[in-house]
Chain A
């Protein structure tokens, strides 16, 4: 086997499964797209099947569906308030999509689509543009007053306004970079330590134990990053809905 196949980064390679070209556009159905489809189907069927027979005393699956619903609903209520309720479908879909992407990546031989910055950046860009549009729709041009924090003397404006604009534009970048960096670093680290297991022979037990521990930590990170991505979306939405 070639050395590349053992590379810890080989897992992030995008392979076209069904080639499709439209002019200069490469619209191939890749392994990344395949896992996005799987995540969508899994998330939809999980919620649909779990709530198919909605009992008063919920069973195991129904409890899980209700917990995930309440988790996101509470997050929106605590961070956005009552006005955020109409954005629940979007935020819940975002949470499930990121969470299933992170968790599917933990299955051996699978592909983690959240480990590609273009995927996370696309999601962050949708959030960023959506939140900006909501802010302008709700407050009109008054929304621009967020560029001047309360209590800033007017002669500081030429310095503060550009800094605030730049600070606003770092949002989608840091939002997407955080998810991407966490997933990529975690999966690479797992593969590197797993490589030591085979190399060290008998002493490979030590990295094997480490890999077991890291897998647990990666599961926590998968949940934590989906949570962080969603809660930051809520915070940005709150900033746009409630100006100071």
Chain B
């Protein structure tokens, strides 16, 4: 099971990165299509999406929340 968990973490890291880029490009192309400003927003949102993807990967890898965590869960919460 630990191997499966490791594999799923690896897949998640790859997916977070790709999804960040994809969302950025999608919003950029959409805005360009809407406002006829190609390729201005594509370029801006490509880099923002890349930043968001890398940020998500960093957060998953450091365990600061599952995807977008702002902080680790408080340790004093009653468990069990």
Residues on A lying within 8 angstroms of B by beta carbon are 77-79, 81, 146, 149-150, 159, 162-164, 166-171, 173-175, 177-178, 181-182, 217, 220-221, 224, 228, 231-232, 235-236, 238-239, 243-244
Contact = CB atoms under 8 A, between A and B. Distances in A.
Contacts, number: 87
Interface in B1-59: 1, 4, 8, 11-12, 15-16, 19-20, 22-24, 27, 45, 48-49, 51-53, 55-56
A232 B55 contact: no
Given A224-B4, A224-B8, A235 B15 contact: no
17 contacts: A77-B78, A146-B70, A150-B70, A163-B52, A163-B55, A166-B45, A167-B20, A170-B16, A170-B52, A170-B68, A171-B68, A174-B67, A178-B11, A231-B66, A238-B73, A239-B68, A244-B71
Given A166-B23, A182-B11, 4 more contacts: A78-B79, A170-B19, A177-B19, A220-B4
Contacts of A170: 16, 19-20, 23, 52-53, 56, 67-68
